[in-house]
Amino acid sequence: MNVINNIRQLRSWSTINKGARCVFVPTMGALHDGHAALIRTAREIAGQNGNVAVSIFVNPLQFGPNEDLAKYPRTLIEDLGLCRDNGADMIFAPKAEDLYPTDRSIVLQETSLSQRLCGASRPGHFDGVCTIVAKLFNLVQCDDAVFGKKDYQQFAIIRRLVRDLDFNVVLHGVETVREADGLAMSSRNRYLSPEERAQAPALRTALLAARDAWKNGERDPAALERLITQTIQDKAPSSRIDYVSAADATTLQPVTATTELVVIAVAVFFGSTRLIDNIELK
C-alpha cells in the first residue's frame, strides 16, 4: 500500500497506474467500520486489476468558525491500518497547505441543494465540500467514487457536482453502517457522554417509526416530521433537535405530488455533538 503526502507524488502514482480502473474513497480520517465498508465496496468495484485510492484529509473549508475543526479526531496510524486491512492500494494524506495556497481565491458555490437541511445551519459548509471533492477528483483521476449515504445531503450535492461540472466519475452510494443498537456510525460518536450515547439510538428509533407509519399509509410529510420529533423528545430528553425534514430525495426540496423517493433527514445535538441520520421512503 502506497502512502502519498503531496501532489507531485500523487500525479506520479496516477501516471504509473494509468489504464487501471481507479475507485476513490474520500474521507476525513478517524476511520471506523463504516469507512471500512466503503473501502471494501471500492475493492469489489475495482476488481483484482484495479486500484482503490483513499484520501485522509480534514478539510478546513467545510468547518464554520464555531465548529470542531481543531478537535476533530486525527488518527492517521490507525487509519492506515484499517485501509490496508480492507483492500486499499493508495492513501493520499496531504496537509492543508499542500492543497490550499495561502493566496487562493477560487471556491465552488452550490446554490440549490445546500439551502435546506444541514446547509441551512452550516452556511458555506457544502461550498467547502464541493471545492475539496472537485480538487480530489482532479488529482486522483478516479473512474469511480464511493460515498456513504449517512450524509444524504452531501451525497446528493456531489451527485449534482458531477452532473453540472461534467466529471467523468461514476458515483456509488453505500447504505449507512450502524452499531448494534441502530446508531449510525460516526467519528463524532466518541464525543458522546455515557448518558448521551444511551439516548442517541432514539434517532434511528424515530426514523423507523416514520417508516412504519409510511407503510401504513401516512403520506403527510408534516405528520411524519411530528412523529419523529415527538419520538426523539420522548426517548432522548437531553437532546436538542436541529431539524427534522421530509424532502424529495433528488432535489432536497419539499415533497410534491411528483416526488418518487422521499428522504427524511434529522440532525440532533447531544451537548455540543451534532449527529445526523436519515431514511428513504418509497
Looking at the whole model, is its pTM more than 0.85?
Answer: yes
* Residue pLDDT, tens place only, 22-65: 999 999 999 999 999 999 999 999 999 999 999 999 999 999 88
- State the Cα–Cα distance between residues 249 and 66, nearest whole angstrom: 29
Q: Is 172 a catalytic residue?
A: no
Domains (range + CATH), the chain: 2-174 (3.40.50.620), 187-281 (3.30.1300.10)
32, 35, 125, 172: the active-site residue: 35
What local confidence, expressed as pLDDT, does residue 153 receive?
A: 98
pLDDT at position 1 is 94
Question: Phi then psi for 280, rounded to 5 degrees?
Answer: -95, 140
pLDDT of residue 212: 98
Residue with cell 403520506: 219
Rounded to whole angstroms, the Cα distance separating 268 from 200 reads 9
Residue with cell 432522548: 236
What is the length of the chain?
Answer: 282
Tens digit of each residue's pLDDT, the chain (282 residues): 999 999 999 999 999 999 999 999 999 999 999 999 999 999 999 999 999 999 999 999 999 888 878 888 899 999 999 999 999 999 999 999 999 999 999 999 999 999 999 999 899 999 999 999 999 999 999 999 999 999 999 999 999 999 999 999 999 999 999 999 999 999 999 999 999 999 999 999 999 999 999 999 999 999 999 999 999 999 999 999 999 999 999 999 999 999 999 999 999 999 999 999 999 998
Q: What are phi and psi of 106, to 5 degrees?
A: -125, 130
Cα 203 to Cα 34: distance, rounded to the nearest angstrom? 17
H helix intervals, the chain: 7-16, 33-46, 76-85, 96-99, 118-121, 125-140, 152-164, 194-199, 202-215, 221-235
